[in-house]
């Protein structure tokens, strides 16, 4: 029932699964070729601005003791905004799919006598699926940010090649941690960590939830991840105290990211040729987050380097300090994961078409 409610094309054309897989290919292709849409048209930017405005009114300006009032206010605000995101994207998806299932019985101008009724229906189904997938892929694209992520990590490495200060300044665009006292090794470690963590947050997890719940699923995840980035802090940030006001957002992101983070680690391990799974599980638990440690620890083990946050954790402590070459290797692993996702989508399309023809 959930699939047919979220993906009505599946109930009408029999190619709903192929349409969703094609949409993933379109989204990844647009991301690679054109990158991010302008900020004024970017739905994730809209989410961030709305969360920022609401958070300024919910979180207290001074530290407080256990404060359930701010916890529940933030929880209600999160749920209300999440509902708006889901409703809006469900409507957008519904409009796209409605046009798909409302397409004419055969394409205008098609010579039915020449190709036969069965041939006309096949052409019509293929065209509808392709056009619907393209529209859905364009709507999905803003929920993904692979190219932008890779570009930012490259920019950190380029800046680090100029000077340590330039590397720190560029890293500040990418991470929320304090960068003023990081060494060159720590700057590079932070960039590689961010690449691994955001491979899940900006690529694998949105696609995971898209596969389960369509565009509303991907949008809900990106909202939850953005809310965690803006509200999910255990103390003061931006002149506001988030210990209680940000707790719901942090836990919601933990829940929605739990399985995708482990799938991201699995994909990284596969494209890297394997990592010791027992060691991975041990290393992944060293981070405060129940999820981010999995892709980061996998990256550390795959590269043979140590990745750390000063005073908080150190992943694969026996590894060496990462070099500029390791940053390139990390980029290559992430690109291989993207290729693996493309192959998975293509395999899904082929399997669905073969099953329909059986």
Question: Model confidence at 238, in pLDDT bands (50, 70, 90)?
Answer: confident
pLDDT, residue 123, reads 67
> Residue 19: how many CB atoms within 10 A of its CB?
27
Quick one: average pLDDT of 71-79? 97
pLDDT, residue 350, reads 79
Please enumerate in sequence order all residues whose Cβ is within 8 A of that of 347, keeping only pairs 6 or more positions apart, or say none: none
pLDDT, residue 138, reads 97
Token output for 54: 């609401």
Which region among 86-90, 176-180, 302-306 has the lowest average model confidence (pLDDT)? 176-180
Which region among 139-148, 323-332, 343-352 has the lowest average model confidence (pLDDT)? 343-352
pLDDT, residue 9, reads 45
CB-based burial, 82-105: b 16+ in 10 Å, e otherwise? beebbeebbebbbebbeebeebee
pLDDT, residue 5, reads 45
SS3 category, 346: helix
Question: Model confidence at 82, in pLDDT bands (50, 70, 90)?
Answer: very high
Task: Supply the mean pLDDT for the chain.
Answer: 89
- Is residue 2's pLDDT more than 60? no
- Kindly list the domain boundaries of the chain, sorted by start residue: 2-357
Question: Model confidence at 104, in pLDDT bands (50, 70, 90)?
Answer: low
237/224: higher pLDDT: 224
Distance between CA 187 and CA 181 in Å, rounded?
Answer: 10
Please enumerate in sequence order all residues whose Cβ is within 8 A of that of 148, keeping only pairs 6 or more positions apart, or say none: 35, 36, 202
pLDDT, residue 190, reads 96
Quick one: average pLDDT of 243-260? 96
pLDDT, residue 62, reads 85
Q: pLDDT tens for residues 127-172?
A: 888 899 999 999 999 999 999 999 999 999 999 999 999 999 999 9
Q: pLDDT tens for residues 174-207?
A: 998 889 999 999 999 999 999 999 999 999 999 9
Question: Model confidence at 356, in pLDDT bands (50, 70, 90)?
Answer: low
The answer to whether 160 and 184 have CB atoms below 8 angstroms apart is yes
108/148: higher pLDDT: 148
Quick one: average pLDDT of 46-68? 91
Which region among 3-7, 107-111, 150-154, 304-308 has the lowest average model confidence (pLDDT)? 3-7
pLDDT, residue 117, reads 57
- Is residue 112's pLDDT more than 80? no
Can you list the positions of beta strands (E) in 124-262?
236-237, 240-241
C-alpha 296: how far from its chain's center? 15
Burial of residue 326 (number of CB atoms within 10 Å: 0-12, 13-18, 19+): buried
Predicted TM-score (pTM) of the model is: 0.90
């Amino acid at each position: 029932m959930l699939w047919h409610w979220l993906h009505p094309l599946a109930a009408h054309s029999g190619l709903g699964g192929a349409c969703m897989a094609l949409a993933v290919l379109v989204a990844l292709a647009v991301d690679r070729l054109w990158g991010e849409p302008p900020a004024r048209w970017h739905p994730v930017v809209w989410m961030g601005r709305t969360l920022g405005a609401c958070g300024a009114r919910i979180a207290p300006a001074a530290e407080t003791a256990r404060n359930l009032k701010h916890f529940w206010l933030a929880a209600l605000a999160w749920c209300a905004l999440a509902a708006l995101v889901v409703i809006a994207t469900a409507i957008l998806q519904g409009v796209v799919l409605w046009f798909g299932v409302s397409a004419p019985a055969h394409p205008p101008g098609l010579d039915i006598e020449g190709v036969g009724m069965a041939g006309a229906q096949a052409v019509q189904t293929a065209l509808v699926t392709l056009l619907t997938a393209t529209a859905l892929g364009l709507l999905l694209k803003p929920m993904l940010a692979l190219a932008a992520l890779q570009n930012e990590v490259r920019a950190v490495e380029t800046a680090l090649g100029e000077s340590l200060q330039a590397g720190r300044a560029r890293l500040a665009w990418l991470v929320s941690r304090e960068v003023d006292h990081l060494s060159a090794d720590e700057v590079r470690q932070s960039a590689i960590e961010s690449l691994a963590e955001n491979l899940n947050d900006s690529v694998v997890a949105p696609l995971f939830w898209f596969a389960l719940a369509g565009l509303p699923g991907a949008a809900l995840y990106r909202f939850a991840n953005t809310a965690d980035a803006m509200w999910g802090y255990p103390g003061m940030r931006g002149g506001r105290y988030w210990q209680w006001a940000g707790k719901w957002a942090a836990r919601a992101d933990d829940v929605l990211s739990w399985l995708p983070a482990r799938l991201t680690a699995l994909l990284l391990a596969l494209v890297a040729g394997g990592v010791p799974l027992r060691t991975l599980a041990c290393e992944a638990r060293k981070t405060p987050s129940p999820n981010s440690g999995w892709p980061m620890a996998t990256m550390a083990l795959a590269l043979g380097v140590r990745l750390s946050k000063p005073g908080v954790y150190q992943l694969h402590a026996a590894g060496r300090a990462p070099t500029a070459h390791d940053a390139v290797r990390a980029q290559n692993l992430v690109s291989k994961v993207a290729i693996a996702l493309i192959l998975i989508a293509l395999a899904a399309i082929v399997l669905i078409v073969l099953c329909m023809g059986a």
